[in-house]
Amino acid sequence: MRIFIDADGCPVVKLTIDIAARHGIEVTIVCDTSHEYSGCDAEVITVDKGADSADFKLVNMMSAGDIAVTQDYGLAAMCLSKRAFALNQNGIVYTNDNIDSMLMSRHLNKKLIRSGKHLKGPKKRTSSQNESFAAALESLINKLKTENNG
């Protein structure tokens, strides 16, 4: 099991690395050239800027049973198709049961934006969101460890 972080705009990179280190799990950060990560205990892979270039690099490196941390529903869907796991920065675990509605919501929001509608951006990040993420990641790791040892 490895953890991959879609680090373009991800607010839980350090938190993910810290949790992974406690469990002895390798972490790979994938980002484009507009982000820089150094001095962290993780492999960092930097790709050229381009539409979804980091996403495609990340999903091509994943194997079944790996975990991706991403807020991108499209990337999450690709991870699920590889029998990997994905969760977002707020602790929501993407599943085959919820990904279709999330992708549809994203599609409808993009249609609204193209038609000139201005949507509100995300609210300021809270410590409770970090706590929810940490709890979800710990739970997923423990579940996968139990399944792999059982």
Length of the chain, in residues: 150
Instruction: Round to whole Å and give the CA distance between 52 and 140.
Output: 26
Distances (CA, A) of 105 to 41, 73, 80, 114: 35, 10, 18, 14
Distances (CA, A) of 101 to 85, 98, 105, 106: 17, 6, 6, 9
Determine the topology of domain 2-149 in CATH: Rossmann fold (3.40.50)
Would you list the domain boundaries of the chain? 2-149
pLDDT confidence tier of residue 52, bands split at 50, 70 and 90: confident
| pLDDT tens column, 60-109 | 999 999 999 998 888 999 999 999 999 999 999 999 887 777 667 766 66
* Cα maximum dimension of the chain: 53
